[in-house]
Amino acid sequence: MTDEPKPEDILEGKNRESVRNSVPPLQVINETRFLENDLGKVLLEIYELKKATLEDLASSVELPQSKIKRNVSELRKQGYLGVNFDDSTKIYYVRSDWSTQEFPSGPIIPLVYQYNLLSDESRMEALHEAIEHTIDEGDVVADLGAGVGFLSCLASELAEKVYAVEIDREVYEEGKKIVEQEGIDNIEYIRGDAREIELPEEVDVVLCELLDTGLIAELQVPVMNYAIEEFSKTELQTVPHDARTSIQLIEADYEFYGNEFRIPHFEEYDSRESETRSKELTYHEVSFQENNSELVEKRIELEANVDGIVNGIQINTDVRFAPDMEYTGASPWLNPPLNLPFDRDLAVEAGETITVDITYELGGGLSNIVYSIVD
């Protein structure tokens, strides 16, 4: 007999203890808004308990036992819950595969988009310049979220050793192959989650391009928080160095052939441009040399600067890749403007203030943004 896990065990979660629960809390909370008949209440309780039997739920959820049972079975049917067995007792947990993990809503960038990343000239130039400014000969470098290894390859020309960490299997295989084909022998490709990887030595520089607009979908902040704790006893040099995020009122055109589609979208990818209706206000700044809070929770007052219609907000993030460089703004593959629609048009006069509440967990995915107009 061997203790090797069977594929069906892993699929059904019997070895789940070792797997990180990757559904961020705000994403679960957001999801409950779409679940009827107290399904959300039961889902949240199981998420909070991490694992729960029907008996556990009966003592913690204020619902009749028969309803809890019906809800658990409905949540199972809809794919939110997995089950483990302890003898014949069923233990439920929240599965992670219903939540979006892939670009652009989540952090994984599949192989097919890696060429697009490489083709974005303004992004590539900024990263190239930052590497030249930051890495000294003989440094040990960690490239976290290495993709197919572009940053690692550049870094390897200066550094003594580069550890390239990539989570996606296909992207990792491709990166490893490219490094071998190029004959670069000081890059070690590691497949794993940069939030929990252990390296065999201390590093001098961390490269980490897990950036996205607002730092919401990708794991820039959680990964950097981990890196500064784990990878060096002294101060780390980081690329990027810092980032700032701003918000402004907009009027966007949601009408297509007579119907309205008020959908969050990245402006750089479509052919329509929204109109700005207020000044841009910086509401969130991070320096990647410090440990940063992973929760953003803001009430923001935005003053309309024209008479007209306001029907959404736009989020923009600028990044400074090295302290002596200029901020790099939006390009198609680096922090394109993110438009978040309001559910209605507001007629405003110049000077009028619109107050917006916005909350999200950094790295929690685009579906974990909660925002509303404060009436």
Ligand X SMILES: C[S@@+](CC[C@H](N)C(=O)[O-])C[C@H]1O[C@@H](n2cnc3c(N)ncnc32)[C@H](O)[C@@H]1O
174 binds ligand X (CB under 6 A): no
Q: Measuring CA to CA, how many Å separate 369 from each of 138, 364, 372?
A: 42, 8, 10
331 neighbors 120 (Cβ within 8 angstroms): yes
219 binds ligand X (CB under 6 A): yes
Per CB under 6 A, the list member of 176, 195, 277, 320 interacting with ligand X is 195
Q: Under rule CB under 6 A, how many of the chain's residues touch ligand X?
A: 20
CB 50 within 8 A of CB 93: yes
Q: Listing from the earlier edge strand, what are the strands of the sheet with 353-361?
A: 295-303, 353-361, 370-374
166 binds ligand X (CB under 6 A): yes
Instruction: Report the C-alpha gap between 288 and 294 in whole angstroms.
Output: 12
**C-beta of 91 vs 146, nearer to ligand X:** 146
Closer Cβ to ligand X, 170 or 297, answer by number: 170
Choose the stretch contacting ligand X; rule: CB under 6 A; options: 33-41, 77-85, 107-115, 232-240: 107-115
Q: Check binding of 145 to ligand X (CB under 6 A).
A: yes
Contact with ligand X (CB under 6 A): which of 174, 209, 242, 251? 209
Interface with ligand X includes 102 (CB under 6 A)? no
Q: Tell whether residue 147 is a contact of ligand X (CB under 6 A).
A: yes
362 touches ligand X by CB under 6 A? no
Cβ 175 to ligand X, closest distance in Å? 8
Tell which one of 39, 130, 142, 171 touches ligand X (CB under 6 A).
171
Closer residue to ligand X, CB minimum distance, 16 or 195: 195
Q: Binding ligand X by CB under 6 A: which of 167, 190, 338, 340?
A: 167
Part of the chain binding ligand X (CB under 6 A), chosen from 6-14, 42-50, 191-199, 318-326: 191-199
Residues that bind ligand X (CB under 6 A): 107-109, 117, 145-147, 150-151, 165-168, 171, 193-195, 209-210, 219
